[in-house]
Amino acid sequence: MRTRRITPWLFAGPALFLLALFLVYPSIETIRVSFYNWNSTTYVGFQNYISAFTEPSMVNVFRNNAIWVFVFTLFTVSLGLILAVLLDRVRYEKIAKSFIFIPMAISMVGASTIWKFVYAYKPPSAPQIGLLNAFVVALGGQPVGWLIESPWVNNLSLIAVGVWLWTGFCMVLLSAALKNIPKQLMEAARIDGANEWQVFRKVTLPLLWPTVAVVMTTMVVFVLKIFDIVYVMTNGNYGTEVIANLMYKQQFTFQNYGLAAALAVVLLLLVVPMMVLNIRRFRRQEEIR
C-alpha cells in the first residue's frame, strides 16, 4: 500500500500519545513516588517498601491475598472444568451454560450487594431473612456472622462471591477447548476398555491442560488485584483487607502517597511473572491454531 510517510503517525499517533500519558508516564512516576515520603517531598529510599512488608497489619493483608489466589483459583478453575465436561454430555448444555455465565454481566458491586443479602445476619430470636442463615437455622444451627468471623469464615464468604462471578468464564473457555478435541480420541480409549474416569484422566485432561494453565494464570492475575468485592462488602474490616483496597485507603483516606505507590509497585511485581507466562502460552496456542 502506498502511503505518505506521515500517514502512519496520523493513524497511530493519538493512541500512542494517550498510552504514554495514561500508562507509561504514570507507571514510571509511581515508581519514583514510591521512593519518596507521604507527600513526595523527601527521598526516603526503600522505607515505604520496608513498611509495606514489616508492619504487623501487613502480614494479614498478604495472607488474605494468598488465600484469595489459592482458593479462588482452585474453585473457579475446577468447577469450570467439571461443568464443561459434564455439560458436554447433556442436552440442556446451552441453557445451563447461560445460567452460570450470567453473573459475568453483573458488576462486582451488584454481585456484592446480592451476596450481602444472602449473608444477612439476624439475632437467633428474629426470623432470618438471609438465605444462608435461614438454611443454617433450619438445620438446627445458630446464625453465623458470615462477614464478621475472621479469618476463614469471612474471607471464604467473600471469595465465594468471586467464584460465583467467574466460574462461568472458566467454564466457557474450557468448554470451547473441549469441543476442539476430536471425539475419536475419547472413543478410541473407550473401545480399548477405559472407563469414563480413565478417559477423562488420561485423554481429556492432558489435551485440555494448556487451556487449564492459561485459565489458571488469568484467574491468578485477576484475583491478585481484587478490590470491588472487599471494598463493598467489608471495606477490609474484620481482617479481610487486601492489597488493592489498602492501596486505595492509603491514597485517599491517609493520603500517604509514598506507601500507596509502593503497594502499587508490589502489585505490579506480583502480576508481571504471571502475565509473561500467560502471554507466552497464549501465543504458543495461537501458533498451533
Partner 1 sequence: MRMRAVRRLFSRVPIHAVLVTIAIIWMLPTLGVLVTSFRAPRDVYGTGWWTVFAHIGRTGQFTISNYVEVIFKQGMGRAFLNSLFISVPGTVIPVTIAAFAAFAFSWMKFRGRNILFMIVVALLIIPLQMTFIPVLRIFNKLHIAGTFPGIWFAHTGYGLPLAVYLLHNFMSSLPRDLFDSAAIDGATTLQTFLRIIVPLSVPAIASVIIFQFVWVWNDLLVALIYLGGSPNVAPVTLKIANLVGSRGQDWQILTAAAFVSMALPLVVFFSLQRYFVRGILAGSVKG
Show contacts with partner 1 in window 148-177 (CB under 8 A).
164, 169, 172-173, 176
Residues 223-262 interacting with partner 1 (rule: CB under 8 A): 225, 227-228, 231-232, 244, 247-248, 251-252, 257, 260-261
- What gap in Å lies between CA 231 and CA 228, rounded to an integer? 5
Q: Shortest distance, CB of residue 269 to partner 1, whole angstroms?
A: 10
User: Under DSSP, is residue 34 helix (H, G, I), strand (E, B) or coil?
Assistant: coil
| Helices vs. strands in the chain: H and E counts, helices first | 15, 0
Closer residue to partner 1 (CB): 134 or 207:
134
> Which listed range, 42-50, 120-128, 148-156, 179-187, lies at the site for partner 1 (CB under 8 A)?
120-128
Q: Shortest distance, CB of residue 1 to partner 1, whole angstroms?
A: 5
Q: Shortest distance, CB of residue 59 to partner 1, whole angstroms?
A: 21
The count of chain residues that interact with partner 1, using the rule CB under 8 A, is 91
C-alpha distance across the termini of the chain, in Å: 28
CB 175 within 8 A of CB 97: yes
Query: Which member of 50, 66, 102, 185 binds partner 1 (CB under 8 A)?
Result: 102
* Site for partner 1 contains 186 (CB under 8 A): no
* Site for partner 1 contains 39 (CB under 8 A): no
- Burial-class residue 225 by CB neighbours within 10 Å (0-12, 13-18, 19+): middle
* Site for partner 1 contains 25 (CB under 8 A): yes
Query: Which member of 38, 62, 200, 282 binds partner 1 (CB under 8 A)?
Result: 282
Q: Residue 272's Cα: distance from chain center in Å? A: 15
What does 61-93 look like in DSSP terms, one character per residue? HHHHHHHIIIIIHHHHHHHHHHHHHHHTTSTTH
Closer residue to partner 1 (CB): 66 or 276:
276
Query: Which member of 275, 277, 281, 285 binds partner 1 (CB under 8 A)?
Result: 275
Give the length of the chain.
289
Closer residue to partner 1 (CB): 113 or 180:
113
CB 240 within 8 A of CB 155: yes
